[in-house]
Structure 1
Amino acid sequence: MNFYLKIATFYALLSCLSFFQMEGALADQSDEIMTIGGEPVSKSELIYLISKGQKEDPSVGGLSREEFEENLELFVNYKLKVKEAESLNLHKTEEFLREYESFKENLMAPYLIKNSLEEGEVRKAYSRMQEVVRASHILFQFPPNASKEDSLIVLRMAVKVKQEVENGGNINELAVEYSDDPSAKLNRGDLGYFTALQMVPAFEDAVYNMRTGEISDPVLTDFGYHIIQVMDRRPNPGQVKVSHLLVRIDPENPDGEDNAKRLVGDIYQEIQKESTSWTEIVKNFSEDASTREKGGMLPWFSVGSMIPEFEMTAFSLSEEGEISPPVKTQYGYHILRLEDKRPLESFESQEQVIRSKILRASRRSLIQSQVMAIQKSRYSFEENESNYLSLKENLEGFSRASDYQNFKDSPNWSDSELFRISGKAYTTTDFLSFVSWKERIPNSNSETLFDSWYTAFTAECLNRTEEKDVTESNRDYQMTLNEYRDGILLFSLMNQEVWQKGIMDSLGQRSYYNANLEDYFWKDRVEAMMVKVLDIGKASLARDFLISKNLTPDLKKEFENSIQSQNQLAFQSEYGLMEIDNHPVLSSADLNQTYQEVEANGHLHLLVIGDVIEGGPKDFTEIRGLVIKDYQEYLDDSLIEKLREKYPIVIDEEAKEEAFIALNQ
């Protein structure tokens, strides 16, 4: 359970809050397990890191005393290196601070209200995607620059038409008469089948909370009021891939539709013949120029992506290669051919796509509103309504950020409290300082520039309060941040004192090699060609080839070309200088015989033996990589030894025992 090694290689990728913020939070006196160089180290940190290692390997149970002592030793070494990195001011370098700024937001995100709401929306959307819904609607739009009275008139009209539907009226016929949706003249208000994330949030929420046949109360969206009736719901069929042939209707010819209908009928009859090529028919007759040369092939699509008539026909096809009868759409007459189908993809594969859709404007604004509502409740938001209204009266007529700046520089205002968050006051001065020269775009038609700025300012103050709360109060977050912060410092120190030094210090490598030459010796070796027989029935093929051969550098290649290439599963061959001692085959061989056969590990091995080379030192150039690795380990050991002398370690035995017990509960 070597968490130290994991930290040394991985945690350099992440960052956290500054050392001074975290130190006081993590190492109070009651939690102290030791001091290193006179500074306290937290017992909770030790328990956290070892426990994390246990969670990553569920097969590991409680810690033995020996394992605990080993982990404690690694923890001490880890903290020694972090302390040394701090003494070298590595936590103040531009590189460290850049990483800190880069990753701080990512590390904070999982602990924020916004993240949990986004996660909930992603899960809800995928749950809804298990089903497709068919609905019809009637839209009642607001007139331009609508007043409250105008809005009320539109609402009353929506309620009146709803009552007509409830009294037996047909929503599709009423859509042609009343709907302000331009497409209603063609589709009679029938939206076809759709699923989650294909309609605006309010519309989707209404539909997915209704039963089949149910008629909604007026539903307000940015388009106006909708009366909705759910016509059908069914399991999501996933995606479909079709090719198609299109015959257009000439709108200028009075007989255009009859001509198109007759032509597509003749084509459909021709397609039924076994000798007919779909690709050739499409190429010769389809009037869809974008797909004609590709056999009419269209991209994969899901429910809600195409016009309803086309889509319903495509999803009604069940067998690959099945061809539909002609179907009419606003573009003309189509004949469809099913190419492939696939089910709804897994949550894991869809998660990022769903998340990106949820974070688009309308849904993002909805989540932001929910976040603010929760934050206001949690952090005791109190608005001074009279001061807010006074400020709004002064600023609401402004249409540019520069107007706000001019107002700030004028003597026509006085500082006053706008609201409090967790008892802290935020004033007019704070708000005007927040407004920059960059213009803001209101989130909706009803929002003024002042509303946009004031909402943004309030959100900023609430977000900072929440982040401060998480930083100061969330123990798990504190531990995680401190872990990553120390991991970066550890990596920086190791890179500087061990890894890069081990690679770049060629004189040090040579010196280490010469001082430890006894570790880099070859035992007696022999030059040999070895063939392992995997198919004993073909052993004679290899034997006949090798038995009269002398060992040469080209022998293996000759064997592979003439024998092994024709019998790849029958043999494995190798050639080179091999150490004799402890070799499963060579240790049993008679090295005085040029050719011989040895049984080992259940297989016959055919050997061609060359010269025996006595043991001796390995050449530095041959094993430089191994020397560098060993030299780095030497540098690491030397660094730890130096740090243990530099920073006295005092361990509280009672706290140590408490940590051991806690890790085994």
Structure 2
Amino acid sequence: MKNYFVLGLFLLLNFNQVFSQEIKNEELFSIDNKPYFTEEFIRVYNKNIDLVKDDSQKNIDVYFDLFLGYKLKVEKAYKIGLQNSLKYKNELASYRTQLSKNYTSDSKVTEVLKTEAYQRSLKEIKASHILILLDEFALPADTLIAYNKALEIKNKISEGLSFEQAAETYSQDPSAKDNKGNLGYFSVFRMVYPFESTAYNTKVGSVSKPTRTRFGYHLIKVTDARDNRGEVTVAHIMVLDKKADDGSDMSKNTIDEIYQKLQQGEKFDALAKQFSEDKSSSDKGGVLNRFGAGQLSSIEFENISFSLKEVDETSEPFKSNFGWHIVKLIEKHSVETYEKAKYELENKIRRDDRSKLISNSLSDKLNKKYTSSTDDKVMKLVKSLVDDTFYNQVWEVSQDVLKESNIDLLVINNDLKIKASVFLQYLQTMQKQNLQIKPVAALVDHFYALFIDVNLKEYYDSNLENEFSEFKNIMEEYRDGLLLFDLMEKEIWDRSKSDTIGQKEFYLNNKANYTWKKRIQADIYSSTNRSDLEAALKLVEKGKEVIFIKNELNKDGKVNIMVQTGLFEEGDKFLPKSIKYKVERSKIVKEGDYYFFLNTSKITDSEPKKFEDAKGKIINDYQQFLDSNWVNELKNDVTIKVNKEVLEKVKILLK
């Protein structure tokens, strides 16, 4: 929930890079003498104006009140110390780490990676793997054990053990027991980068050497490689799994009836709108977003979709882990040219393991950007303190030595001074790498070069706010967003969910807002053929039951009528709009491609909902009620001064 809240807030409060020069950055208002300026307000408003759906909030005065309320909440969060929470600090630091990656780019490395990714995207690899788990930061000894175990399994495969049997027996991927390591087909960006690289560089039928990823060591067998099939756009009709009281599969019967109606010439999109239970696509005639190999969680659905050859071709009913489907091919999309794909490739690279390669290339730039100087005498002293016990990982630095070495060793950009004691502590941790560079002075030089690199990057990272104004503003917005989430959770959301007395009192005071529309208990008969529906109507008039009527009219493998039975609220998509609701059998009407009539047994007039029936909406409305009153309370607790003259200038500019 927090991720969606903060992301939404970030989008809402993001800003334009260009700030109008027609108005100086003046104080717009203050809260307890803390100033807030026109520049921030104008940036936020200009960005937000296209995102706001409520036209009333586009009014500058209304938006100013919202902005002021937002700042009041953030100030409240600081006053009660939410910024001191360890969880908050960790989340903010984590986000800063992610955001900073956007500022560590190397265009040459990026271009190489884009070209490589595009070439790989032209192929789809089918592979299986065996995983030996290993922590990403495992000690060298543990790493060696895992590597040797993977190598031992590879040798057994070379001696005749089938890869599938080896995966089932030795792989520590839990899914291997069921799939024998088979990962199916995939293309670029579907796997972590080291795994992908090994897969694309292994010949079909061969097993790779042990490959290290952040999950451990993998043995990868490539079983096939084919040209990328591109992507496909399909529409589908889905019926969720449902069982009848007698245990029979109601959903299978329903999907078969729908399929039969397709065979009789009825339109796919009309059937999808009428009967598909995928709410996200039914109103669009069942059309789904385009997808490629490995992008869906249902292999069955993917394979059926790609098996369709001609536009408008439909599949027979088939079952996935979601329910029963019929799929129709809308369009096949071939692989895009490099020119069209390169921008999306770059975005994906920044979110992928490849970004580490780009980040590493930053080192050379920083060595040119910043100066670094070392005190040679202090370095000589440091080297004299390191002996051959380092190779056995037992070298230690005493506290007395650290105190004595509290002198400057490294200076970065004539600004940051780093003590020799810091490097000695760094050395003590780095001996875990078990490097055997000799003599020991050379080993110290090796780690000192890494130490400089680490500190150059840390120095650069710590100054991103000074280097890039947009980075500074984004971090401030995210910081405030996290604080606001924690504050709202504490002051509003938790209270609105737990305050049952307040909920019920709010419900009683606003009962008119929670009412049922007119509800109709009915059987809805539909058909594309009026004569079939007329036959059904005559049988209803004779008092025949739904099951009898369907059996009588749906014969010889044809589905001539469909019947939906239930309690429908006025305005329900299944109810014909042109029928007046009465406890009777309606006349036959036509809407779109279908003829309808209703056999209505009961009508319930509009009436207030019980508290339990409307509880979800009541809680949501109660939250908004509490929030609105809370802002007024916050205003009473502080001194707010609005510079009305500046606000008028802002209004003129924005208009």
- Could you say which residue in structure 2 is the equivalent of 1:116? 105
User: In the alignment, does 2:154 pair up with 1:290?
Assistant: no
1:52: Cα distance to partner?
A: 4.0
CA gap 1:472/1:445 in 2 versus in 1, 3 angstroms: same
Is residue 11–residue 488 contact of structure 1 (8 Å, CA) maintained in 2?
no
Report the Cα distance in structure 1 between the residues aligned to 2:79 and 2:405, rounded to whole angstroms. Answer: 51
Q: Pick one of 410, 417, 433 that aligns with 1:441.
A: 433
Where 2:612 maps in the other structure, the secondary structure is: coil
AA at the equivalent of 2:369: R
The 3-state SS of whatever aligns with 1:619 is coil
After superposition, where does 1:209-608 map in structure 2 within 5 Å?
238=123, 290=162, 304-306=201-203, 340-342=226-228, 356=353, 359=356, 368=360, 370-385=361-376, 387-389=378-380, 391-392=382-383, 395=386, 399=390, 403=395, 405-406=397-398, 409=401, 415=407, 417-436=409-428, 439-441=431-433, 445=437, 448-522=442-516, 527-549=521-543, 570-571=561-562, 573-576=564-567, 578=569, 589=580, 591=582, 594-597=584-587, 599=589, 604-608=595-599
SS in 2 for 1:607: strand
Percent sequence identity is: 19
| Distance in 1, Cα, partners of 2:515 & 2:365 | 70
Give, as a single letter, the amino acid of the residue that structure 1 aligns with 2:585: Y
Deviation at 1:124, TM superposition (A): 0.8
**1:476 positional shift:** 0.9
2:641 corresponds, among 643, 647, 650, to 650
Distance in 2 (CA, whole Å) between partners of 1:357 and 1:292 is 30
Tell me how far apart the structure 2 counterparts of residues 240 and 78 of structure 1 sit (CA, whole Å): 50
Is the 1:417–1:428 contact (alpha carbons within 8 Å) kept by the matching residues of 2?
yes
User: Residues 80 and 640 of structure 1 are in contact (CA less than 8 Å); yes or no, is this contact kept in structure 2?
Assistant: yes
Q: Distance in 2 between matches of 1:307 and 1:527?
A: 61
| Secondary structure class of the residue paired with 1:116 | coil
Please, which of 92, 112, 115 is the counterpart of residue 127 of structure 1?
115
Partner Cα distance (1:424, 1:584) in 2: 73
Moved more, 430-439 or 393-402: 393-402
Conserved 8 A contact 2:28-2:643: yes
Specify which of 33, 36, 41 is matched with residue 41 of structure 1. Answer: 36
The answer for the alignment partner of 1:640 in structure 2 is 631
- The SS at the match of 2:433 is coil
Residue 79 of structure 2 corresponds to which residue in structure 1? 87
After TM superposition, the structure 1 = structure 2 runs for residues 90-169 of structure 1, keeping only pairs within 5 Å, are 90-111=82-103, 115-117=104-106, 120-128=108-116
Unaligned runs of 5+ in 2: 11-23, 129-157, 167-181, 186-197, 208-221, 231-334, 336-340
Q: What SS class does the counterpart of residue 105 from structure 2 fall into? A: helix
Return the offset for 1:483: 0.9
SS of residue paired to 1:544: helix
Deviations along 1:488-531, one digit per CA (max 9) or x if unpaired, are: 12212222232222222211111111122233345665544443
Distance in 2 between the 1:579 and 1:128 partners?
A: 57
Instruction: Please give the per-residue CA displacement for 1:77-101, whole angstroms capped at 9, x wherever unaligned.
Output: 2212222222232222343234234
Give the Cα–Cα distance (whole angstroms) in 1 for the partners of residues 569 and 57 of structure 2. Answer: 43
Q: Which has the larger radius of gyration?
A: 1
Contact 1:597 1:604 in 2 (8 A): no
1:480 Cα offset (Å):
0.8
In the alignment, is the contact (CA less than 8 A) between 2:83 and 2:89 conserved in 1?
yes
SS at match of 1:622: coil
1:325 aligned partner: none
Shift of 1:649: 3.4
Q: How many angstroms apart in 1 are the aligned matches of 2:165 and 2:432?
A: 48
**Aligned with 1:35: secondary structure?**
strand
SS across alignment from 2:417: strand
State the match for 1:623 in structure 2: 614
Superposition pairs for residues 64-79 of structure 1, below 5 Å? 66-79=58-71
User: How many Å separate the matches in 2 of 1:443 and 1:13?
Assistant: 47
Question: Aligned partners of 2:579, 2:31: CA distance in 1, in Å?
Answer: 56
Aligned counterpart, 1:203: none
Q: Read off the aligned partner of 1:9 and give its amino acid letter.
A: F
Deviations 1:235-287 (A, max 9, x none): x97467799xxxxxxxxxxxxxxxxxxxxxxxxxxxxxxxxxxxxxxxxxx99
Structure 2 letter corresponding to 1:43: T
1:241–1:341 CA contact under 8 A, matched in 2: no
| Between 629-638 and 377-386, the greater mean CA deviation after superposition | 377-386
Contact 2:465 2:472 in 1 (8 A): yes
**Alpha-carbon distance, 1:635 to partner:** 1.5
Query: Is the 1:525–1:580 Cα contact (8 Å) retained in structure 2?
Result: no
Structure 2 counterparts to residues 190-205 of structure 1, below 5 A: none
Taking structure 1 as the reference length, the TM-score comes to: 0.55
Residue aligned with 1:79, SS: helix
Aligned counterparts of 2:471 and 2:183: Cα–Cα separation in 1: 49
Letter of the 2:92 counterpart = Y
- Mapped contact 2:114–2:349 kept (Cα < 8 A): no
User: What SS does structure 2 have at the residue aligned with 1:596?
Assistant: coil
Cα separation, 2, equivalents of 1:632 and 1:442: 58
Residue 597 of structure 1, CA deviation: 0.9
In the other structure, the counterpart of 2:177 is: none
**Residues 101 and 524 of structure 1: CA distance in aligned 2, closer, same or farther (over 3 Å):** closer
In the alignment, the residues of structure 2 paired with residue 661 and residue 383 of structure 1 have an alpha-carbon distance, to the nearest angstrom, of: 57
Provide the rounded CA distance (Å) in 1 between the counterparts of 2:489 and 2:399: 54
Residues 264-311 of structure 1: CA distance to partner in whole angstroms, max 9, x if unpaired? xxxxxxxxxxxxxxxxxxxxxx996637999xx999897642499x99
CA distance in 2 between counterparts of 1:560 and 1:633 reads 49
Residues 122 and 355 of structure 1 are in contact (CA less than 8 Å); yes or no, is this contact kept in structure 2?
no
Distance 1:619 1:420, change over 3 A: closer
Q: Is the 8 A contact 2:492 2:626 kept in 1?
A: yes
Change (3 A) 1:542 1:109: same
Q: Which is worse superposed, 416-425 or 389-398?
A: 389-398
Mean CA deviation greater in 515-524 or 578-587: 578-587
Q: Distance in 2 between matches of 1:581 and 1:470?
A: 54
Equivalent AA in structure 1 for residue 162 of structure 2: S
> Do the aligned residues in 2 keep the contact of 1:530 with 1:605 (CA within 8 Å)?
yes
Kindly tell me the number of residue pairs found equivalent between the two proteins: 455
